Amino acid sequence: MVIEEEKDKETKSSIISLKNGRVLASPHFTADRLRLASNPRYIILHTFESGGSGAGAFDLTESRMLDVPHNASMDVFEDLMALYDSGGLVALYRVGDRELLSSLRVPLVALPVLSAASVSPGLEQLAISVGGEGALFQVSNGQRSSTFGKFTAANFSDQRNAILLQANSRHDPPRVLRVDVSNGETSPAWEIPKNVALHSNGPVLLEYSYKPEIITARWDFEVPEAQTPFRLRALDPASGKELWKRDFGANALLPLPIRRVTAWSSVGRRRVGTRRKLRRAIPS
């Protein structure tokens, strides 16, 4: 499914099937940015205003907004809402309940940017990449077991192996590495096709791309109102096997002038944000 919000119609949003292009629902919400919550039943809606940013949550199952206390950012995990305010306070609530369960002050202003984080199925290993460095840690004692360069995605294929999408550098293209968590040894998992940019936010690696044989003009032109062909493709992190693919051709159901797109499926999910400028629409 895909959620789209039209740029010039602040109140019109649609939930669209990727399989047949059918409009499944037309929820009423607006946002400057959309993303799926950790519980994919909910969408987190971010707004950025002069007076400060805020976040809300929309229930896809019941097609309604949740009653959420004011916050700067939030997430929903199972039936718990975690809210973070500008003062550094993290508060926990049950979905649909304003009674505070717990709170903790966690000032995050000085922390570097988190690139990726994942925990092994048995909660024994933590793979995390912060700033320009990545590492594996043992959860039980916090000991660092392996160190790597920056990676932008981490998936544990089983208890023994971690799959890392290592970011490109000045000298090397991006790579997919298989890591033996018992000793930190790495080996190539599979080769990324040339000119393919992969992104992750869940159990799959997702490719969002334009068809190069059709788009041949300069990247700094203003995108016309006409629909622009593109592709969504999900790959298995461990093998590179294609899990699903959807091509949008000359009659693409999602034209570029839409404001925001969030896409997911039963095997994985990924948010994709579009912009008026084409060069900003293509992920870096």
Report if residue 146 sits inside a domain. Answer: yes
64: which residues sit within 8 A by CB, 6+ positions away?
Answer: 58
Strand, coil or helix: what is 279?
helix
The answer to the question of residue 44 being in a domain is: no
Q: Find the largest Cα–Cα distance for the chain.
A: 56
Is the pLDDT reported for residue 59 higher than 80? yes
List the Cα angle 74/78/83 in 5-degree steps: 20
Looking at the domain assignment, is residue 93 inside a domain? no
Lowest mean pLDDT among 78-92, 225-239, 242-256: 242-256
Does 174 map to a domain?
A: yes
pLDDT band at 281 (very low <50, low <70, confident <90, very high): very low
Share of the chain above pLDDT 90, in %: 25
pLDDT score, position 123? 82
Burial (CB < 10 A; 0-12, 13-18, 19+), residue 277, is middle
Contacts of 260 (CB under 8 A, 6+ apart): 3, 4, 5, 31, 32, 33, 34, 273, 274
Domain with 139, as residue range(s), is 113-192
CATH number at residue 121: 2.40.10
Does a structural domain hold residue 60? Answer: no
Count of structural domains, the chain: 1
Percent of the chain with pLDDT over 70: 71
Q: Is residue 94 part of a domain?
A: no
Residue 37 corresponds to which tokens in the numbers above? Answer: 């919550």
Whether residue 8 lies inside any domain: the answer is no
pLDDT tens by residue, 217-248: 444 444 444 456 777 888 999 999 998 888 77
**Beta carbons of 120 and 98 less than 8 angstroms apart:** no
pTM of the model: 0.57
Looking at per-residue pLDDT, the higher value among 10 and 49 belongs to 49
